[in-house]
């Protein structure tokens, strides 16, 4: 499906965005590479057959305003929230890749009413986000490649453990050809579009059913099992087990 580009003025910034489809809104946020724009999501435009896609150029990227200093993830999340307000979107599923995932998490933390669920693809994060994320109860799908050298797989496990209502999906090594640049494994929406698209479709259709048990519950159950093994065995009156 063909995406249509538009621009809106949001305070001091002009935001360029693409839209496609007419279903429930899905906000898609690109990463931090200076060459990125909404077009990195071209392989995922098939989602527009079911959802209404809103795909902005973050401020400092693509055809959006290019200030001397690119706003950080907090300021970007504020701009994205303003964009949703401008478009009359009260709540959306958020899909973020790389730094866009970090921006999406910030939006979910500070505008929780605007976010239905979150999909993180090889996402970055801020260490200061990890503790607040423990209180976030948005269904979250976390997708990483095992050979990602930009945001390594351990980041996926940290995010999974921080977000109780999350599910981690680890894809096999992407950059198997030694002639390929290692960043290939960070561009999952480009180099694994079929798998990523299938995961997103399944998750968005039933986010609550897809998420794992909260890590703290898993730990509690594990602790109960250990305590049971450590309990002294009952003995008869003679002291024999």
Q: What is the pLDDT of residue 46?
A: 97
- Assigned domain for 185 exists: yes
| DSSP secondary structure string for all residues of 122-140 | S----HHHHHHHTT----E
Residue 18 contacts residue 3 (beta carbons within 8 Å)? yes
Structure-token pair, residue 70: 């690119």
Q: What is the pLDDT of residue 237?
A: 43
- Assigned domain for 223 exists: no
- Assigned domain for 110 exists: yes
In 3D, which of 167, 177, 170, 166 has the Cα closest to residue 195? Answer: 170
- Assigned domain for 76 exists: yes
- Burial class of residue 80, CB neighbours in 10 A (0-12, 13-18, 19+): buried
Q: What is the pLDDT of residue 173?
A: 87
Sign, Cα dihedral of 39, 98, 16, 5: positive
Residue 25 contacts residue 93 (beta carbons within 8 Å)? yes
Question: What whole-number distance in Å separates Cα of residue 7 and Cα of residue 3?
Answer: 13
Question: What whole-number distance in Å separates Cα of residue 4 and Cα of residue 19?
Answer: 5
Task: Name the band, by pLDDT with cuts 50, 70 and 90, for residue 176.
Answer: confident
- DSSP state, residue 2: -
Structure-token pair, residue 49: 């057959």
C-alpha 176 chain-centroid distance: 24
Tell me the H-state helices in the chain. 73-86, 99-110, 127-133, 153-162, 188-191, 193-205, 207-210, 215-230
Residue 46 sits in a domain of what CATH number? 3.40.50.1820
Q: What is the pLDDT of residues 205-223, one digit of tens each?
A: 999 999 855 555 445 444 4
- Assigned domain for 230 exists: no
Cα–Cα–Cα angle for 214, 138, 222, rounded to 5 degrees: 0
- Assigned domain for 226 exists: no
Whether this prediction's pTM lies above 0.75 is answered by: yes
Per DSSP bridges, beta strands 51-56 and 4-10 are: unpaired
Question: What whole-number distance in Å separates Cα of residue 54 and Cα of residue 3?
Answer: 9
- Assigned domain for 137 exists: yes
Q: What is the pLDDT of residues 90-138, one digit of tens each?
A: 999 999 999 999 999 999 999 999 999 999 999 999 999 999 999 999 9
Q: What is the pLDDT of residue 199?
A: 96
Q: What is the pLDDT of residues 41-77, one digit of tens each?
A: 999 999 999 999 999 999 999 999 999 999 999 999 9
Number of domains in the chain: 1
Question: What whole-number distance in Å separates Cα of residue 50 and Cα of residue 22?
Answer: 8
Per DSSP bridges, beta strands 115-121 and 4-10 are: unpaired
- Report phi then psi at 189, rounded to 5: -65, -15
Q: What is the rounded end-to-end Cα distance, in angstroms, of the chain?
A: 72
Domain holding 84, by residue range, is 4-214
- Assigned domain for 233 exists: no
Residue 133 contacts residue 110 (beta carbons within 8 Å)? no
Q: What is the pLDDT of residues 177-193, one digit of tens each?
A: 766 666 777 899 998 99
Question: What whole-number distance in Å separates Cα of residue 165 and Cα of residue 177?
Answer: 35
């Amino acid at each position: 499906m063909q995406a249509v580009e538009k621009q809106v003025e949001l305070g001091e910034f002009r935001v360029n965005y693409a839209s496609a489809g007419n279903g429930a809104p899905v906000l898609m946020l690109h990463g931090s590479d200076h060459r990125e724009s909404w077009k990195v999501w071209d392989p995922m435009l098939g989602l527009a057959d079911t959802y209404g896609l809103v795909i902005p150029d973050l401020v400092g990227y693509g055809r959006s305003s290019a200030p001397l200093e690119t706003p950080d993830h907090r300021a970007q999340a504020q701009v994205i929230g303003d964009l949703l307000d401008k478009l009359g979107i009260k709540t959306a599923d958020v899909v973020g890749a790389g730094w866009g995932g970090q921006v999406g998490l910030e939006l979910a933390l500070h505008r929780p009413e605007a976010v239905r669920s979150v999909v993180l693809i090889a996402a970055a994060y801020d260490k200061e986000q990890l503790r607040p994320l423990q209180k976030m109860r948005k269904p979250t799908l976390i997708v990483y490649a095992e050979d990602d050298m930009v945001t390594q797989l351990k980041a996926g496990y940290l995010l999974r453990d921080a977000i109780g209502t999350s599910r981690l999906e680890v894809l096999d090594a992407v950059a198997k050809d030694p002639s390929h640049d290692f960043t290939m494994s960070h561009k999952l929406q480009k180099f694994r579009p079929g798998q990523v698209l299938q995961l997103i479709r399944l998750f968005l259709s039933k986010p609550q059913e897809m998420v794992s048990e909260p890590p703290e519950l898993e730990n509690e159950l594990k602790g109960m099992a250990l305590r049971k093994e450590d309990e002294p065995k009952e003995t008869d009156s003679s002291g024999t087990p």
